[in-house]
Amino acid sequence: MAEDKNDNEEEQTEEKAGGKKKKLILSGIIGIVLIVTVVLVLWLFGGSSSSDEPATSGSGSPAPSSSSRPEVGNALYVGMPRAFVFIVPGDSRERTVQIKAQLMVRGEENEELAKKHIPLIEGTLHEVFSSSTADRLKTAEGKGQLRELALTEVRSALEEVTGKPVVEQVLFTSLVMQ
């Protein structure tokens, strides 16, 4: 009988230890879930900054103000149907460059105008891109200057034809130089 009591006590001790382990594991899982939830909430809602400083573009200069935007509306993207491939002079030899570009426009009307005038935009961009040099395209600053020049020229060409600048940004989605 004494042995049965000892066996029962050992089983109860093991059950208590097992119960403690289960509680510990459960509280660990709950803790992890809470941490993940907090991180997600901070990531989703804490990402916006409300500073009074003006926004800057990638080149460090102030971003265009809303008054210089072609139109207020949803940002839409118009992809160029083909990549631009051209040859530029370099230090020791000529380099082949391939640029894939997209245009950011505001509003559906500007999107339709940009799509309608793709040949004009392509011609303008090819002229601007092929006037660059390999040395300029090697640096981030040079790429930024090329984007700005492309934007200025495309806006100018479109304004002559449509009466408004249409395009807000020229974006490089790929730039390869060999």
Per-domain residue ranges for the chain? 1-46, 70-177
Contact assessment for residue 70 and residue 168, using Cβ atoms and an 8 Å cutoff: yes
pTM of the model: 0.58
Mean per-residue pLDDT, 83-87? 92
The model's pLDDT over 1-34, given as tens digits with 9 standing for 90+, comes to 555 555 556 666 566 666 778 888 888 888 788 8
CATH class of 70-177: alpha beta
Listed in sequence order, the residues at least 6 apart from 136 whose beta carbon sits closer than 8 Å to its beta carbon are 142, 145, 146
pLDDT-derived band of residue 49, with 50, 70 and 90 as boundaries?
very low
The model's pLDDT over 110-165, given as tens digits with 9 standing for 90+, comes to 999 999 999 999 999 999 998 999 889 989 999 999 999 999 999 999 999 999 98
* Least confident segment among 27-41, 58-72, 74-88, 151-165: 58-72
Q: What phi, psi does 79 have (nearest 5°)? A: -85, 140
Cα 61-65-67 angle, rounded to 5 deg? 150
